[in-house]
């Protein structure tokens, strides 16, 4: 049985690629660390690593998650300490192997080691539902499903949610890349539609944000950029995961329209 003082392992997954898993992992991880928790983010996308560049730590990789799991190095050697954010560590993926070098049983054992060292362990799951997914989920207690408000992403999210339930994990939902102007026009599924289709608990709504690309360009944490709406949304998700369950979920709004502001003041807004 797990000790209560042990860390929580949360897998960040989506099924479909390109919906923002890596950005979400980096941002939620950074925000949890800013709350004073010891956090490890683990890049499980073996062979296609990217969490390192998103976090700006690509130049400091010596060992990786495969080395750590196989016992070729100590956990402390594979975990790269972020110099800007206290208590944040990255365990990078290996770039030369493929997903089959690891097995779910090995990951379960590795998870037990991680739990002893960190309060939160975020597993950045690769796209797909094959071995990479199995490995990422093997040791997880919880799951966050990232979904964009479009047909293909919602369908894949539904599939992944089914697979998580089969492993006795009740996932929570983040809707990412919301374009409020399109939602308003009726050309993008709104969060109520998506939650209605997927019927799982929502823990955050993240707007499309140019700052995500800017932050990735420079390898700086999104949550440290004051102007970033997505960064702020991810920070609030981290707070909810960290126990602030009554923090309201803000619906992204289109900005700068005079009549809309007047309408909102008069209580005409939705």
Partner 1 sequence: MFNDFLKKMMGTGSSKTDSKDVAKKRLKFALIYDKLEVSDDTLRCLHRDIIDVISRYFEIDQEAFKMDIRRSDDLSALIVNTPILSAKRHVSSQGQR
For partner 1, the binding residues (CB under 8 A) are 150-151, 154-155, 158-159, 162, 183-190, 193, 196-197, 257, 259-260, 262-264, 268-270
- In this structure, the number of other CB atoms found within 10 A of the CB of residue 122 comes to 27
Closest by Cα among 256, 234, 257, 224 to 175:
234
Q: Which CB, 112 or 130, lies closer to partner 1?
A: 130
CB 143 within 8 A of CB 172: yes
Residue 93 and residue 123 in contact, taking contact as beta carbons nearer than 8 Å = no
In whole angstroms, the minimum distance from the beta carbon of 186 to partner 1 comes to 3
**Using an 8 Å Cβ cutoff, are 255 and 207 in contact?**
no
Of the pair 74, 270, the CB lying nearest partner 1 is at: 270
Rank residues 179 and 214 by Cβ distance to partner 1 and give the closer one: 179
Q: How far is the CB of 113 from partner 1 (least distance, A)?
A: 37
Write the CA distances from 142 to 20, 122, 145, 165, 205, integer angstroms.
18, 10, 10, 11, 19
187 and 159 Cβ atoms separated by less than 8 Å: no
For residues 91 and 64, the answer to whether their CB atoms sit within 8 Å is: yes
Please state the closest distance from residue 46 (CB atom) to partner 1, in A.
28
Q: Which residues pair with 35 in a beta bridge?
A: none
- For partner 1, which is the closer residue by CB, 102 or 148? 148
Shortest Å distance, C-beta 193 to partner 1: 5
Q: Which CB atom, from 130 or from 210, has the smaller least distance to partner 1?
A: 130
CB of 268 to partner 1, least distance (A): 6
CB contact at 8 A, 4 and 197: no
**What DSSP element (H or E) covers 172?**
strand 172-178
Q: How far is the CB of 175 from partner 1 (least distance, A)?
A: 13
Q: Which is nearer to partner 1, 244 or 264 (CB)?
A: 264
Helix (H, G, I), strand (E, B) or coil at 110: helix
Which residue, 151 or 244, is less far from partner 1 as judged by CB? 151
Q: Are 28 and 40 in contact (CB under 8 A)?
A: no
CB of 158 to partner 1, least distance (A): 5
């Amino acid at each position: 049985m797990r000790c209560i003082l042990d860390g929580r392992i949360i897998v960040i997954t989506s099924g479909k690629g390109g919906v923002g898993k890596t950005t979400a992992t980096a941002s939620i991880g950074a925000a949890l660390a800013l709350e004073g928790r010891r956090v490890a983010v683990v890049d499980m996308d073996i062979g296609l690593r990217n969490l390192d560049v998103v976090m700006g730590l690509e130049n400091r990789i010596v060992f990786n998650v495969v080395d750590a799991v196989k016992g070729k190095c100590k956990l402390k050697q594979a975990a790269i300490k972020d110099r800007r954010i206290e208590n944040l560590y990255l365990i990078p993926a290996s770039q030369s192997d493929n997903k089959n070098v690891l097995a779910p049983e090995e990951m379960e054992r590795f998870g037990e080691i991680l739990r002893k060292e960190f309060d939160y362990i975020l597993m950045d799951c690769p796209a797909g539902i094959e071995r990479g997914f199995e490995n990422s989920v093997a040791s997880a207690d919880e799951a966050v499903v990232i979904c964009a408000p479009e047909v293909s992403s919602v369908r894949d999210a539904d599939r992944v949610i089914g697979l998580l339930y089969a492993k006795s994990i009740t996932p929570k939902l983040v809707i990412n890349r919301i374009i409020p102007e399109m939602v308003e026009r009726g050309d993008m599924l709104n969060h109520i539609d998506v939650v209605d289709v997927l019927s799982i608990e929502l823990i955050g709504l993240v707007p499309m944000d140019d700052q995500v690309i800017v932050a990735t360009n420079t390898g700086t944490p999104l949550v440290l950029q004051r102007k970033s709406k997505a960064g702020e949304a991810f920070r609030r998700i981290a707070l909810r995961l960290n126990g602030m369950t009554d923090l309201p979920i803000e619906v992204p709004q289109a900005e700068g329209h005079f009549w809309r502001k007047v309408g909102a003041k008069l209580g005409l807004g939705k």
